[in-house]
Structure 1
Amino acid sequence: MDIKELSDDLIAWGSQQRMQDMYIECLGDNWRVLFRKGEAFLGKRTLTEEQAKQLITRFKYLGDMDVGETRKVQLGAISYRLPGEFRRLRLSLVGDYRLQESMVIRFLYPLSKTEQCFLVPSQYELIKDYTRRRGLYLFSGATGSGKTTLMYRLARFGGRVLTIEDPVEIEETSFTQLQVNPAIGQSYDLLIQLALRHRPDVLIIGEIRDQETAQAAIRAALTGCKVFATVHASSVAATKSRLRDLVGNVSELTDCLAGVIYQRLLLTKTWGLGALLAYEFPDKEVVNGNWQTNLESLLQQGEISEECFLRES
């Protein structure tokens, strides 16, 4: 099997099994491919060093990365051709102190083919209802927890949607999707300013990473736009603290912050991967403080393991 056939086989299998991530990594002198769905690791496959390095080089080339660079972190995204379809992939590459590279490939599925299971179904209906008004809505959670999918699903009810991402993850033909490109000066801040001239009903910001992007998101919300944005944080309270630390001006944040939604994916016995949410909508005086109660209920029902319960408590 040549490298193209091998990569086709791996991506096809990962897609069919609805995997979230594929790892190509070196452990000591051994190379392997490993797939991940939620907290479970599946489909381990041993590779020779030559196979692993050829696979990494192939994906670097397809993702317009620097093929000769083995020291710096590199990021990319591609639409990988499979028989009868394209699979959207996000690539992340890093080299260790020995200049041995490892790659993580995130599988991104079209919104029309993505099903989200909510472990407490009433949570989604409430959030859909409470995100109809204008303002800034922050979505947080672990990497791969479905934040972007949830934002996209909610945005479809809001009218004309424009997204700004780095990179574009879910391809949605009904949205206008812009991609950050530092090489030509297309930063989050600049694209947010330009986006407002197009008067979107919903503006999606892929990730608030720094003060500049946070302030731009707040300015957009203060103009009367509905803004959805992701933030890396571990709870509702931590999300608000993160934004306060970034912007400094708490009064402007308070004026526009309409809601905070935190999401985790849990591996359950009946539904497979399911989303559990926590949220706060200040103007509605709605706070979901039942995270621990919901976890305990899922444990008592036998849907999650004790290990999962302890980890998420």
Structure 2
Amino acid sequence: MFKDQVNKVLQTAIRKRASDIYFLPREDHYSIKMNVVGTVETISCIPSSYGLQIINYLKFKADMALSEHRRPQIGAFLLKDSQTKKVFGRFSSLGDFLGRESLVVRLIYQEKDANEKFFFPSQLKKLENLSQKKGLILFSGPVGSGKTSTMYHLVRSLTDVQVMCIEDPVEIYEPNFLQIQVNEKANMSYAELVKASLRHRPDVFIIGEIRDAETAQIVVTAALSGHLVLSTVHAQSTLGVVRRLLDFGVSKADLEQTLQLIMYQRLIPTTVGNVKALFEQLSVEKLPWEKLENGGMTGMSVGWRESLEKCVQKNWISEETYKKYSEG
């Protein structure tokens, strides 16, 4: 009975294509919520004791320590929806100052019909063509904007290649790739793992995030040495990605040699109730180097707003959605 109720919560979220499920402690109960197309809605409120049972059950399934309730933990396991399609669940738990534990489940869907998930399939086609070459393709966008799913889709389309994925944590299970998880306590940082992985001579790297100068330098080195490297950088626009790399100490000369394309990605709600990805794409040939090196021009491009305007004209998105996402 208990397992059936937990499964019902998971299946409800999966059926609605939720990106996250939240189990949040309140004063005298637990609130269960889910994020659907950027809107958080409440599934139910349950007694605190029952909420803790659900959290412990899910932590057990995700191979997390049941005795730890305050320190942050991560875990994962594969779920299935009613059509037995695989959905990857990534788990994160954290206790507050009163020792009350919260749990968030990120749901990552194994998409096959990629062309139906993009407003402009030509943008995806450009990405697929560039992924046949060597060099660096970088992604930016908020958490949950589909960057990792896009990277995995691109690399799955390649044939006869050895793929190395380094992430913190691994988000999507792909048995055909060699997937490694960052563990700072064991001296397995992004930079150290990329260095070690180069000895395996992979054809393609997926690097979860460039978050410091050391990782930026080793990622560029991997691209210079003849690998295809896909990674993400936290920035609010394509130009912001370049600004961050320059701040990390990557030289303009190295970027000119390695950088193929920068992608800013958002998942945007449509008028028919689903979400699709929209890209801002910027190639190295179009970078305004002088202004970037002087610290300027890091906002959204005119092209981003023009793409949104086309979506409104075609009645794919509403005017309200246009206003909400016009600044990225």
* Global fold match (TM > 0.5): yes
Residue 133 of structure 1 aligns to a residue whose secondary structure is coil
Residue 200 of structure 1 aligns to a residue whose secondary structure is coil
The yes-or-no answer on 1:292 pairing with 2:305 is: yes
Aligned 8 A contact 2:207 2:230 in 1: yes
Aligned 8 A contact 1:117 1:271 in 2: no
Q: Distance in 2 between matches of 1:267 and 1:279?
A: 20
Q: Distance in 2 between matches of 1:229 and 1:23?
A: 27
Aligned 8 A contact 1:117 1:274 in 2: yes
Q: Distance in 2 between matches of 1:276 and 1:186?
A: 34
**What is the correspondence of 1:91-130 to structure 2 with a 5 Å cutoff?**
91-112=91-112, 117-130=117-130
**What is the correspondence of 1:212-291 to structure 2 with a 5 Å cutoff?**
212-247=214-249, 249-270=251-272, 272-283=274-285, 289-291=302-304
Give me the TM-score of the superposition, normalised by structure 2.
0.84
Q: Go from structure 1 to structure 2 and tell me whether the alpha carbon gap of 1:72 and 1:243 turns closer, same or farther (over 3 Å shift).
A: farther
Aligned 8 A contact 1:262 1:279 in 2: yes
Cα deviation, 1:287-311, whole Å, max 9, x if unaligned, reads: 9742111212323444323332222
Aligned 8 A contact 1:8 1:82 in 2: no
**What is the correspondence of 1:79-228 to structure 2 with a 5 Å cutoff?**
79-80=78-79, 87-112=87-112, 117-159=117-159, 160=161, 161-228=163-230
- Give structure 1 stretches of 5+ with no counterpart: none
1:10 is matched with which residue? 9
| Equivalent pairs, count | 312
Q: Distance in 2 between matches of 1:111 and 1:163?
A: 18
Q: Distance in 1 between matches of 2:52 and 2:114?
A: 32
2:294 is matched with which residue? none
Q: Distance in 1 between matches of 2:263 and 2:188?
A: 28
1:306 is matched with which residue? 319
Equivalent residue letter for 2:72: V
Cα deviation, 1:137-196, whole Å, max 9, x if unaligned, reads: 111111111111111111134441221122222222332222223454333222212322
Q: Go from structure 1 to structure 2 and tell me whether the alpha carbon gap of 1:288 and 1:94 turns closer, same or farther (over 3 Å shift).
A: same
Q: Go from structure 1 to structure 2 and tell me whether the alpha carbon gap of 1:226 and 1:277 turns closer, same or farther (over 3 Å shift).
A: same
Q: Structure 1 residue 266: deviation in Å?
A: 0.6
Cα deviation, 1:91-131, whole Å, max 9, x if unaligned, reads: 12223333332221011223547775111222111222233
Equivalent residue letter for 2:6: S
Q: Go from structure 1 to structure 2 and tell me whether the alpha carbon gap of 1:166 and 1:82 turns closer, same or farther (over 3 Å shift).
A: same
Q: Go from structure 1 to structure 2 and tell me whether the alpha carbon gap of 1:57 and 1:247 turns closer, same or farther (over 3 Å shift).
A: farther
Aligned 8 A contact 1:73 1:95 in 2: yes
Q: Go from structure 1 to structure 2 and tell me whether the alpha carbon gap of 1:85 and 1:136 turns closer, same or farther (over 3 Å shift).
A: closer
Equivalent residue letter for 2:92: S
Aligned 8 A contact 2:216 2:250 in 1: no
2:31 is matched with which residue? 32
Equivalent residue letter for 1:21: D
1:68 is matched with which residue? 67
Percent sequence identity is 36
2:295 is matched with which residue? none
Q: Distance in 2 between matches of 1:13 and 1:276?
A: 26
Q: Distance in 1 between matches of 2:217 and 2:315?
A: 44
Q: Distance in 2 between matches of 1:169 and 1:69?
A: 23
Equivalent residue letter for 1:9: K
Cα deviation, 1:56-104, whole Å, max 9, x if unaligned, reads: 2222333333333333332222234778676421112223333332221
Q: Structure 1 residue 258: deviation in Å?
A: 1.9
Which range moves more in the overlay, 182-191 or 103-112? Answer: 182-191
Cα deviation, 1:11-50, whole Å, max 9, x if unaligned, reads: 2332333321111113444422112222133462221111
Q: Distance in 2 between matches of 1:300 and 1:27?
A: 44
Equivalent residue letter for 2:275: L
Give me the TM-score of the superposition, normalised by structure 1.
0.87
Q: Go from structure 1 to structure 2 and tell me whether the alpha carbon gap of 1:309 and 1:154 turns closer, same or farther (over 3 Å shift).
A: same
Residue 290 of structure 1 aligns to a residue whose secondary structure is helix
Aligned 8 A contact 2:148 2:208 in 1: yes
Residue 43 of structure 2 aligns to a residue whose secondary structure is strand
1:23 is matched with which residue? 22
Residue 8 of structure 1 aligns to a residue whose secondary structure is helix
Q: Go from structure 1 to structure 2 and tell me whether the alpha carbon gap of 1:55 and 1:271 turns closer, same or farther (over 3 Å shift).
A: closer
